[in-house]
Amino acid sequence: MEKIKLLGPFRQLLTLDKLPVKGALQDSQLEIIEDAGMLVKGDFILEINTYTNLLLTAEKESYLIEELVGDYVAMPGFIDPHTHICWAGNRAEEYALKLSGKSYIEIAKAGGGIWNTVTSTRNNFKNELTKKTVERAEKMLNQGITTIEVKSGYGLSVEEELKILEAIKQADKRTVSDLIPTCLAAHTMPKDFKGNSKEYLDLLIKELLPQVYEKGLANRVDIFIEKSAFNPSEALDFLLKAQSMGFEITVHADQFTTGGSKTAIEADAVSADHLEASGEKEIKALAESAVISVALPGSSLGLGAPFTPARKLLDAGACLAIGSDWNPGSAPMGDLLTQAAILGIYERLSTAEVFAGITFRAALALNLKDRGVLKEGYLADVVAFKTDNYTNILYNQGQLKPNAVWKNGVSVKSLN
C-alpha cells in the first residue's frame, strides 16, 4: 500500500487553479494558500489545505512528513513546451557572426544554421545523443522544469530521425523529468536529398511517420513554415496527412515571415510556436481559434529579434504559453525562468500571465491535462523557492532558483 506523505509548510502555495485558459490575467486572480501543506499519495496530490490542519491528520495516521524549515513559496513544476535538446556539436562561431551583424538567414545560406547541427548530430551514435539529452534534461529539472518537450529535426533522413527519436525515448527512461517527443523531420530541406520539398515531405509521410507511430516514438509532428524551410501550402498538406495517421500536430509559425499561424489554424494544430512576425491579422485569428500561441523568448534573445507580441495576443484573448526553444543555434541559453521573466518585463505581462505560461497553459500546448496546477488528482510536480513572497521569483529575473523540486511526489532536488 502506498504511503501518504505530507509536504510543507509553505509560506505561500500558488495553485494556478481556477484561472481561465485564454486571455489576460491579473495577479489578483491567483489562488494563494498561506501556511499551506500538501498530502501526496503515489504520483498524485491527495489534498491541499493549511499545514496545521494536515499535520494533525498526518501525525494521527502516521503519514510520512517532509518538513521544510524556513519560508518557502510553492507552485506547480514548470513545463517547457518547446525545446530541441537532443543535438550534438557547437555553434558558438555562428553566434559570434550574429554579434558582428550577420543574420540567421545569411548564416544558413553560407552553410551554417540547422545543417551545421545536422552534420554533427549524424556523426554521433544514439547512446551519445541519449547521454547529451539526459544531461540537458537534468539541468532543466534542477531549474524546476518537470516536463520537457523534445523535438527531433537534426537528422533529416528516415534513418537519422529514427535514431534521434529513439535516443529521446531512451533519455526519457533515464531522467526523472517527463520528456515529450515531437517528430520535426520537416525542420528544413536536407541538402543531400535528391528531390524537391514536396518529395521530401512525401517520403516522411510514406516511410518515416508509419515507423514513428508503430514504434511509439512520438505522437506529435511539427513542421517549420518559413522561406528557408517549407511553404504554407505544402505544409498544410503534410500536416493533414500526419493528422489522419493519428498524430497531434504543432507548427513553427511566423518566426521571420507570416503564413505559418494561418496554416496552424487551418490544420487545427495544438499550438503555433514562435509568432515573432505575427501582425494584427494573425493575432486576431489566433485569439479566435483553439490553437495555443507559444512564445519563445530564448530565440529572440539568441537572434537579437523582436519578442512574440505576447501582450497583444493575451489582450486579444489568446492562450499564451512560454517555451525556451533551447537549441544550439538560435536559442542557446536554455533557461526558461530567466527568459520568461525577461519576456514579462518587455511585454508587460503580469506575474499571473508568466506563471500560467510556464505551467498549465504550457501543459495545454502539449495536450496534457494532468499537470500544471496544484490540486487534488493532479500530478504532484512541485517547485519551491526559498522566499517569503511569490513576487520575488520574477523580480530576480531567473536568478532565484528553486530550492526544492518534487516530481510525481518524489523529492528530486534537496533543500538547501
CA gap 370, 361 in Å, rounded: 12
* CATH value of 79-365 in 3.40.50.720, 3.30.2320.80, 3.40.50.12780, 3.20.20.140: 3.20.20.140
The number of beta carbons lying within 10 Å of the beta carbon of residue 20 is: 12
Q: Are 4 and 20 in contact (CB under 8 A)?
A: no
Residue pLDDT, tens place only, 35-87:
999 999 999 999 999 999 999 999 999 999 999 999 999 999 999 999 999 99
Residue pLDDT, tens place only, 86-111:
999 998 988 898 898 888 778 777 77
Instruction: Please name the CATH architecture into which domain 4-76+371-413 falls.
Output: Roll (2.30)
Cell of 203: 517520403
Residue labelled with grid coordinates 528516415: 158
Please report the pLDDT score of residue 415 as a whole number: 59
Residue labelled with grid coordinates 528544413: 188
378 closest CA partner among 43, 20, 66: 43
Amino acid at residue number 402? P
328 closest CA partner among 98, 143, 80: 98
Q: What's the angle, vertex CA 91, arms to CA 86 and CA 96, rounded to 5?
A: 150
Cell of 339: 527568459
Please report the pLDDT score of residue 104 as a whole number: 72
Distance of CA 4 to the CA centre of its chain: 30
CA gap 266, 223 in Å, rounded: 14
Helix 158-174 with 114-122: angle, nearest 10 deg? 80
CA gap 127, 240 in Å, rounded: 33
Q: Are 252 and 224 in contact (CB under 8 A)?
A: yes
Q: Which residues in the chain show pLDDT less than 50?
A: none
Domain ranges in the chain are: 4-76+371-413, 79-365
Please report the pLDDT score of residue 1 as a whole number: 64
pTM, two decimal places: 0.97
Residue 243: half-sphere exposure toward Cβ, Cα within 13 Å: 16
With residue 146 as reference, give the H or E element that holds it: strand 145-151
The number of beta carbons lying within 10 Å of the beta carbon of residue 28 is: 7
Please report the pLDDT score of residue 112 as a whole number: 76
Question: CA quadruple 190, 194, 200, 206: dihedral positive or negative?
Answer: negative
Q: Are 148 and 117 in contact (CB under 8 A)?
A: no
